Amino acid sequence: MTGIGGAIVGDRAMGFGGRGQGRRLRGICPRPALIALSAILLLGATQRLAAQAGASDARDDADAARIDALLATPSALTPAPQTNIFATSPGLEEQAPSPRFTFNVLTPVYFNSNPESASAGGVSTAEVSPVGSLSWAAPVFDLPLRVSANLRAESDRFTGSSGPDLDKLAGTLRLQAIDPNNDQGFSPYLVYAPRMDLAPTFAQEIATRQDLNLGFNKIFNFDANFQAIPAAGNTRASTVWSFGLTFFAQRRFRDPTPSSYALYVIPSVSYVIDEQWNVSLGVETIRRWFDSNGGVSRADWLVEPIATLEFVLPASWLGAGGNARLFGQPALDFQTSYERASSSFSNSSFSTWTVGAALKTGWRF
């Protein structure tokens, strides 16, 4: 009994049995510790969310640039939308003669060295990313303006990793200043571009973002003798070399957060070898600043050179010119890109190689 009583007394003396002692200890020790632990956990979660959002933005910007590079090849046969991040994309600085629709289908197959954007030890895998794009362009009355809209659906699948599998629905609404007498003129524009990321088979929304872009395009066209081509409303037929620059500032609203600001600088060059062959090179450079979230801020660099070699299938291979148009003037594109992302979060920097080919088709009506 004495031992038991002594234990009881000892417990009370230590504050386990005495109400007053327990209340005082709870008021002094556990509450600050709990607050500190909660702050540490919140900071860690905030950093993880910021890292995930940053990696996702860099990866998705690079993916979108590769799609635009496929659509920006200087083919005189396969039609392309009049909205693109590469200034050398055919018709980007031209006035639309009348309202018209363009439908494109891309079926790229890549080797991807790091689809999960891992800072180290990324898993290499094959990637299949079919894309459907429906666009519309029209002049704005008799004003030197063109309005264009685009709806794009994309499905990314990887054989070696299911983590990056993703479906995307993206739109673009673009208002661009156009000189109808000079398709090489300074061409400022305003873009609103919403996008939704979904689980595979377009099953469930994962994230949304809305971009507001303000920028300009400028190109310089040259003939086969490398002579500058005089200003005209449409100089594509005589252009062999084309040099372009795209610049724009962006505000991105993102859910889940954080949102961000960015500056894009995108030089590009294209060369028409002949009616069947052409080659183009573009370099997407992005500086992105993320909004502070829970006292955590982040800034990233993304640099991605993209080279594309295109072979337009001869009409004779498809039986006749009419068949070629029926099948969408098919072209086979070979593409290589290198994506390098550097972040103020040291464990969020990564690099990725993609090498592959894509079948491209397009119809205009």
The values of phi and psi at residue 322, to 5°, are: -65, -40
189 pLDDT tier (thresholds 50, 70, 90):
very high
Q: Distance of CA 33 to CAs 18, 23, 40, 300, Å?
A: 22, 16, 11, 34
- Report the half-sphere exposure of 164 (CA within 13 A, side-chain side): 27
Q: Which residue has the tokens 């829970």?
A: 294
Token pair listed for 359: 């079948």
Q: Which of 47-51, 182-186, 209-213, 312-316 has the lowest mean pLDDT?
A: 47-51
Q: In the predicted model, is pLDDT for residue 60 greater than 60?
A: yes
Q: Is residue 80 part of a domain?
A: yes
Q: Which of 55-64, 211-220, 254-263 has the lowest mean pLDDT?
A: 55-64
Q: In the predicted model, is pLDDT for residue 19 greater than 50?
A: no
Q: Which of 13-27, 47-61, 314-328 has the lowest mean pLDDT?
A: 13-27
Q: Which residue has the tokens 């629905």?
A: 169
Higher pLDDT, 161 or 28: 161
Domain count, the chain: 1
Q: Is residue 10 part of a domain?
A: no
- pLDDT, mean of residues 62-85: 96
- pLDDT, mean of residues 52-73: 90
| Residue 40: predicted pLDDT | 45
- The pTM (predicted TM-score) of the whole model is 0.85
- pLDDT, mean of residues 105-111: 98
- pLDDT, mean of residues 164-173: 96
Classified as helix, coil or strand, 345 is coil
Q: Is residue 6 part of a domain?
A: no
Token pair listed for 220: 């310089």
- Calculate the average pLDDT of the chain: 88
The values of phi and psi at residue 123, to 5°, are: -95, 125
Q: What is the pLDDT of residues 244-299, one digit of tens each?
A: 999 999 999 999 999 999 999 999 999 999 999 999 999 999 999 999 987 888 99
Q: In the predicted model, is pLDDT for residue 347 greater than 90?
A: no
83 pLDDT tier (thresholds 50, 70, 90):
very high
- Report the half-sphere exposure of 155 (CA within 13 A, side-chain side): 8
Q: In the predicted model, is pLDDT for residue 310 greater than 80?
A: yes
What percentage of residues in the chain have a pLDDT greater than 70? 85
Q: In the predicted model, is pLDDT for residue 45 greater than 70?
A: no
| Residue 32: predicted pLDDT | 64
Residue type, 101: F
Domain that holds residue 58: 34-364
Token pair listed for 64: 């979108």
Q: Is residue 93 part of a domain?
A: yes
| Residue 12: predicted pLDDT | 39
Q: Is residue 17 part of a domain?
A: no
Q: Is residue 1 part of a domain?
A: no
| Residue 334: predicted pLDDT | 98
Token pair listed for 93: 């600085």
CA angle 316, 275, 221 (to 5 degrees): 160
| Residue 129: predicted pLDDT | 97
Classified as helix, coil or strand, 280 is strand
Q: Is residue 16 part of a domain?
A: no
| Residue 23: predicted pLDDT | 43
| Residue 54: predicted pLDDT | 58
Token pair listed for 37: 């632990």
Q: Is residue 5 part of a domain?
A: no
Q: In the predicted model, is pLDDT for residue 48 greater than 80?
A: no
- Preceding omega of 258 cis (within 30 degrees of 0): yes
139 pLDDT tier (thresholds 50, 70, 90):
very high
| Residue 171: predicted pLDDT | 97
Q: For residue 297, what is the domain's CATH number?
A: 2.40.160.40
User: Could you write out the DSSP letters of every residue in 86-109?
Assistant: STTSTTTTSPPSS-EEEEEEEEEE
CA 235/CA 228 separation, integer angstroms: 11
